[in-house]
Structure 1
Amino acid sequence: MSAAPLTYTPLDPSGFEELAAARPDVVIPIEQTPAWIGFERALGRTPLGIWAYRDAAGTLVATASFVHVTRRFRESVVVINGPVWFAERTPAAERLLMDTVREQFREHPAVDPLYVRMQVATPQAPATGPIEHGWYEREIVVDLTPGEAELLRSFRPNARNSIRRAQRNGVEVKHIPREEWKEVFATQLFPIMQETAARDGFQAFDSSYYETLLTVLGDHLRLLVAYRDGTALSWLITTEYRGYSVYYFAGSTLEARSTFAPYLLLWEAFRVLKAAGNTACGLTGIASENYPGLANVTTFKRNFSKNVVVVPTTYDIPLDPVRYTAVASILAARRKAPAAARAAARRATGLARRVGRGRGAVGASRHS
């Protein structure tokens, strides 16, 4: 006998805050809050609200905030860093929630998505894919509850030594006043983000994205910058919600690395976040099976804690499985095509070189 379906109802900001306040032990990612909805709207995206899911007895099971995303070949609904679970997250409970969400958006009057994307702890039908991965799967979380001296001792010796080296090198960490965030980021910090992205091989957002984040979510953010002789070397943005903080964005120059500025910067962030009442700080993604490219940041982050937390992997829930399979195949072929073209070019180049070497040898024999 199958379990009774979940009911789902929208939550306005006051309803969400009331629900969250009644469950202070549940960690709610900032991406799953009304504040983040305002940020999505400011970016020009279309939030579809936060929904509460309850079982037949009326017990709250989970909440999820959805964003409507339209891209070439497909329309989707995405739960960013969620859903948030208030009941036990069993495989059966996850299956029931996925089935409910699938029916919810099949019947939605305003959107016609190909799939719903969300985190799933136990891979099972109807979850599949995903067409592309959307969130990291492992992260380092630093416990901020010990005293400062104990917290510092918990770091690896390399981190403690690097903090002292940064201080000796004349690195100074400044807390940028909120009214200066946008200007400082645009003029001093975004060029550092561009340098970081080029060096580490990832695609940064436009400056307007970070400036919008700082403007809309300012009540939940801090902006710290490491300077040396008046020049910005490294910066970070942290988020805070209900006593849980996240090292969200950061950038550094090559000089920052040689002066160990990022270590002092993060240590100062821990100190201020702890003083503000936060009990933990997530350092975001580290290397995993689907994200091997995070190996470099993993080495840095492991200096501050051994506490590795597994984050449920993002999967797709197709609303039209046949069409989803067709679109996924097209997109996979498109992604493979550039790689295949590069491989063909390498083969052609190698052939041309071999032919060229062969012709050179023949010519030499003729003129000898």
Structure 2
Amino acid sequence: MSAAHLTHSVLDRAGFEAIAAAHPEVVIPIEQTPDWVEFEQALGRTALGIWAYADTGGSVVATASFIQVTRRLRDSVVVVNGPVWFGDRTPAAERALMETVRRQFREDPSVDPLYVRMQVATPQPPATGPIEHGWYEREIVVDLTMSEAALLKSFRPNARNSIRRAQRDGVEVRHIPREEWISVFTSELFPIMRETAERDGFQSFDSSYYETLLTVLGDRLRMLVAYRDGQPLSWLITTEYRGYSVYYFAGSTQEARRVFAPYLLLWETFRVLRSAGNTACGLTGIVSENYPGLANVTTFKRNFSRNVVVVPTTYDIPLDGARYTAVASLLQARRAGTVLTTSARRRASSVVDRLRRGRGSKGGA
């Protein structure tokens, strides 16, 4: 039996801020705010707005900011680090939201996604997959409400020792003024990001992405850099929204590791964030079943807090079940290097042709 649908309406900034103000206890990820919508638009991406979902009594249950993502074979609509729940997140409420979102985008003539992707706490139909995972599932969160002395004492001994060693080795941390962000990032920090990505085996964004972030979201960011003998060793960018901060981007050289600069940098960052009124700092993703590659950063982050927060896993909500299954099977075979049979190749070609002709009719099981 289908879950009851919710009513949905698009929000302007004033409408979103009114809902947020009425729920001061709710942690709203910055990716689910109007500020982030402006950032996505500045990158040239298609933002489909922030939508509110209300129950039959008119109470807002959740909000979700949608971004349209175009990729070969799988145009999608993605909720980044959301939705945000203002009502009780029960399995029934989640199903009602998913059913409403599926109907919403099936009926929208302006888009034709293969699926909508969002975080789901209780996996159930219509959620499935996902074709690929889209957000971390566990993170370390540092409590900033305690005194500085208590905060430092809460770290593992390795972190406290590393902070002291960095101080003895002459590492100093600078809070970069906003007017210098772009010049410092392009000349000093982006080369460190490239080094970090090559060393740790991931692909960073190009410099323009970070420059856009710094320009558009400047009111929500801080940039701190660790130097030794005038040379930048390690850097980070934090976000802040409603008293909740996030250790968002960072890079470090091999020399930074040798002199323990990242430890002192993060400690000084906590001090700055705490003084600015933030009550917590999320350190972003750590290792989980679907993200084994985060094991290395997990070791570092665990030094600062034992508070592990579980983040709901991202799932796909197909708008056309048959087409979604066909595309998912094709992509799975490609990733596994499977040699497809002639009939399988024909079916795959049929799917591709259908997508190229306009992705078929909406609907489907």
Supply the distance in 1 between the matched residues of 2:339 and 2:33 (Cα, whole angstroms): 39
Tell me if the contact between 2:3 and 2:95 (Cα under 8 Å) persists in the aligned partners: no
1:247 is paired with a residue whose SS is strand
> For residues 239 and 173 of structure 1, what CA distance do their matches in structure 2 show?
18
Deviations 1:220-260 (A, max 9, x none): 00000000011000000000000000000000000000000
Label 1:160 to 1:287 Cα distance change in 2 as closer, same or farther (>3 A).
same
Q: What TM-score, normalized by structure 2, do the two folds share?
A: 0.92
- Structural mapping, 1:133-282, within 5 Å: 133-282=133-282
Report the AA paired with residue 82 of structure 2: G
Residue 109 of structure 1 corresponds to: 109
Deviations 1:62-82 (Å, cap 9, x if unpaired)?
000000110111210000000
- With 47-56 and 176-185 compared, the bigger mean Cα shift is at 176-185
Q: CA deviation at 1:18?
A: 1.1
Distance in structure 2 (CA, Å) of the matches to 1:66 and 1:244: 22
Backbone CA RMSD of aligned residues:
1.3
Structure 2: how far apart are the matches of 1:308 and 1:338? Answer: 38
In the TM superposition, what is the alpha-carbon distance from 1:4 to its structure 2 partner? 3.4
**Alpha-carbon displacement from aligned partner over 1:9-30 (angstroms, at most 9, x marks no partner):** 1100011111101110000000
Change (3 A) 1:56 1:3: farther
- One-letter amino acid of the counterpart of residue 281, structure 2: C
1:130 maps to 130
Listed as ranges, the gaps of 5+ residues in structure 1 are: 341-368
Q: 1:5 and 1:122 mapped to 2: Cα distance?
A: 18
CA distance 1:233–1:120, shift in 2 (3 Å): same
Q: Report sequence identity in percent.
A: 80
The residue aligned with 1:12 is: 12
Report the AA paired with residue 322 of structure 2: V
Distance in 2 (CA, whole Å) between partners of 1:315 and 1:51 is: 19
Residue 89 of structure 1 corresponds to 89
CA distance in 1, matches of 2:49, 2:6: 17
Mapped to 1, the partners of 2:243 and 2:168 lie a distance apart of 32
Indicate if the aligned counterparts of 2:3 and 2:99 stay in contact, CA closer than 8 A.
no
Whole-Å Cα distance in 1 between the matches of residues 330 and 85 of structure 2? 34
Give unmatched runs, 5+ long, in structure 2. Answer: 341-365
Q: Structure 1 residue 2: deviation in Å?
A: 6.0
Q: Is the 8 A contact 1:163 1:263 kept in 2?
A: yes
Change (3 A) 1:59 1:152: same
In terms of Rg, which structure is larger?
A: 1
* Equivalent-residue separation in structure 1 for 2:310 and 2:79 (angstroms): 18
Task: Kindly indicate whether the alpha-carbon contact (under 8 Å) linking 2:42 and 2:212 is maintained by their aligned counterparts in 1.
Answer: yes
Residues 172-223 of structure 1, C-alpha deviations (whole Å, 9 max, x = no match) = 1001111111111111111111111111111111111111111110000000
Q: 2:347 aligns to what?
A: none
Amino acid at match of 1:292: P
CA apart distance, 1:109: 2.1
Distance 2:308 2:7 in 1: 34
Report Cα offsets for 1:116-141 as digits up to 9, x if no partner.
00000011111011111110000000
Matching residue's letter, 2:194: Q
Secondary structure, aligned partner of 1:8: strand
Counterpart for residue 32 of structure 1: 32
Equivalent AA in structure 2 for residue 37 of structure 1: V
Contact 1:4 1:56 in 2 (8 A): no
Number of residue equivalences: 340
Deviations 1:326-347 (A, max 9, x none): 111111122122999xxxxxxx
Alignment correspondent of 1:356: none
Is contact 1:222–1:237 with CA below 8 Å preserved after alignment?
Answer: yes
Cα distance in 2 between the residues matched to 1:133 and 1:219: 30
Query: 3-state DSSP class of the match of 2:309?
Result: strand
The reply to whether residue 22 of structure 1 matches residue 26 of structure 2 is no
Runs of 4+ in 1 over 4 A off after TM superposition: none
Q: Distance in 2 between matches of 1:339 and 1:190?
A: 41
3-state SS in 1 of match to 2:10: strand
Q: Which residue of 2 aligns with 1:352?
A: none
